[in-house]
């Protein structure tokens, strides 16, 4: 009998199946189109040491019956209607106590609904965020589970086995996994983060931070290239050097590799031949929608999403570039100093990006009745996932010391870093603006920092305007807790409003 089943053999399903098999789990496989299952198994027999632990099935009923009870079935199908239809087709073959684990990029509200509906039928449901892409699924992802404690206990040993591992002393990811040779030992990047839709929500916020981080790195690359005048090999060396210090992360590491990759079709470098139109799958928009709904000022997140929207308007940008006045870019006098300034700006903005993400998590737990352990979330993001970074060790420590910290910007470690870095950050944004180079996310993160640290903001004028045209009332500094309306047309009368 199989110990677990995987339903859906797209890229993630195939690779997660191999991960399970490498860790010794007998795994049943099912795909709506059986020829996909056959082709996958044929490839496994040719190249995968653990292929004997995989068994494919043509019929869904046979697939379900081949899994030992209580069954554990992983869904890796398209989010939305396809997931609902798959669950509907599965239900006739399930028994009370079975566990269905949705590892797709589901919206958390869908997961809340599905968990409630299946609970009525005594079926356990887990919505598990999974990050790390194809390689992560194959050799160790970050796994963010949402569900009941009972459901988690049924999958916890497996999730801890197949997750990415970090060194318990350094917090650094343990590398070296290969087909048939999984990483053993270390601290697993898997945890139960909350009930029902909590896992998929945490994954959505993860992706929102990912959007910001990628856009920040892209802006730094653009400024180094156009104002610093660095060549691609020089840029690759800069990012490689940065990856040895406080900016060490998966995204910075792959940026160095990307910039050093020659074009396989001719002279030059591949990155210069890639169209500047970025795609997306919607999770950044979901995170932004949630920030707006919850009233969280995640402006860097919104700008990162909008930057992708703007990049998609390629034809419009081409036309505008021919008729809208531009500025002549004036390279900086000292490229070496510019690269150090850019490093400080990038790190400072990155702190604000994560601060906005954790603020969003804090607001969501109040809205949905979850209770997040922020140190645990930071800990399981240290390996396997796309935003894995060295400074997540610091975030983990910060929240372990003070779980109720209002904002990451207030932590001593980050306050000191921002104090050191914000002058260079300001010069960087100012120089970009004066040269007509767009830095939407670097600028938005700086505006967030300056707004959050300001005792007074110009919102007093906005409140006066709202009261003038709509009688929306205002509060007075000298009489806290009371609301007032002024007769702006009449000129003298102020009235206290209950």
Active site residue 366: no
Catalytic residue of the set 48, 165, 187, 203: 203
Given the residues 210, 219, 285, 350, select the one marked as catalytic. Answer: 210
Respond yes or no: is residue 203 known to be catalytic: yes
Which residues face 102 on adjacent strands? 75, 127
Sheet holding 494-497: strands in order across?
474-476, 479-486, 494-497
Active-site amino acid positions = 203, 210
């Amino acid at each position: 009998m199989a110990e677990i089943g995987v339903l859906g053999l797209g890229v993630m399903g195939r690779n997660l199946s191999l991960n399970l098999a490498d860790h010794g789990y007998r795994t049943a496989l099912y795909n709506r189109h059986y020829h996909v299952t056959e082709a996958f198994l044929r490839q496994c027999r040719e190249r995968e040491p653990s292929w004997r632990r995989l068994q494919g099935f043509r019929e869904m009923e046979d697939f379900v019956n081949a899994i030992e009870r209580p069954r554990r079935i992983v869904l890796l199908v398209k989010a939305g209607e396809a997931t609902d239809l798959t669950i509907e087709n599965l239900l006739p073959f399930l028994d009370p106590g079975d566990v269905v684990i949705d590892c797709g990029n589901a919206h958390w509200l869908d997961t809340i609904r599905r968990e409630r509906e299946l609970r009525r039928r005594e079926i356990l449901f887990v919505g598990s965020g999974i990050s790390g892409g194809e390689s992560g699924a194959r050799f160790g992802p970050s796994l963010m589970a949402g569900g009941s404690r009972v459901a988690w206990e049924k999958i916890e040993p497996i999730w801890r086995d197949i997750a990415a591992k970090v060194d318990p002393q350094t917090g650094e990811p343990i590398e070296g996994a290969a087909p048939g040779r999984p990483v053993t030992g270390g601290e697993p990047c898997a945890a139960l983060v909350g009930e029902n839709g909590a896992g998929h929500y945490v994954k959505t916020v993860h992706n929102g931070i990912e959007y910001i981080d990628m856009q920040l790195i892209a802006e730094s690359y653009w400024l180094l290239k156009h104002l610093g005048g660095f060549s691609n090999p020089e840029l690759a060396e800069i990012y490689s050097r940065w990856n040895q210090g406080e900016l060490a992360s998966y995204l910075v590491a792959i940026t160095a590799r990307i910039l050093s990759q020659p074009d396989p079709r001719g002279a030059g470098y591949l990155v210069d031949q890639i169209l500047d139109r970025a795609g997306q799958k919607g999770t950044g928009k979901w995170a932004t929608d949630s920030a707006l709904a919850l009233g969280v000022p995640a402006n860097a997140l919104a700008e990162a999403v909008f930057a992708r929207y703007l990049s998609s308007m390629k034809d419009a940008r081409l036309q505008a570039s021919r008729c809208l006045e531009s500025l002549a870019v004036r390279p900086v006098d000292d490229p070496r100093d510019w690269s150090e300034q850019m490093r400080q700006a990038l790190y400072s903005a990155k702190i604000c990006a994560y601060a906005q993400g954790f603020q969003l998590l804090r607001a969501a737990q109040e809205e949905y009745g979850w209770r997040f352990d922020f140190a645990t979330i930071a800990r399981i993001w240290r390996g396997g996932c796309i935003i894995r970074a060295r400074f997540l060790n610091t975030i983990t420590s910060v929240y372990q010391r003070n779980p109720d910290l209002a904002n990451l910007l207030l932590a001593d470690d980050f306050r000191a870093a921002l104090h050191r870095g914000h002058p260079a950050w300001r010069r960087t944004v100012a120089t970009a603006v004066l040269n007509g180079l767009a830095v939407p996310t670097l600028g938005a993160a700086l505006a967030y920092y300056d707004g959050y640290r300001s005792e007074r903001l110009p919102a007093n004028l906005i409140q006066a305007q709202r009261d003038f045209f709509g009688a929306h009332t205002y509060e007075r500094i000298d009489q806290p807790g009371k609301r007032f309306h002024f007769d702006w047309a009449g000129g003298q009368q102020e009235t206290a409003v209950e």
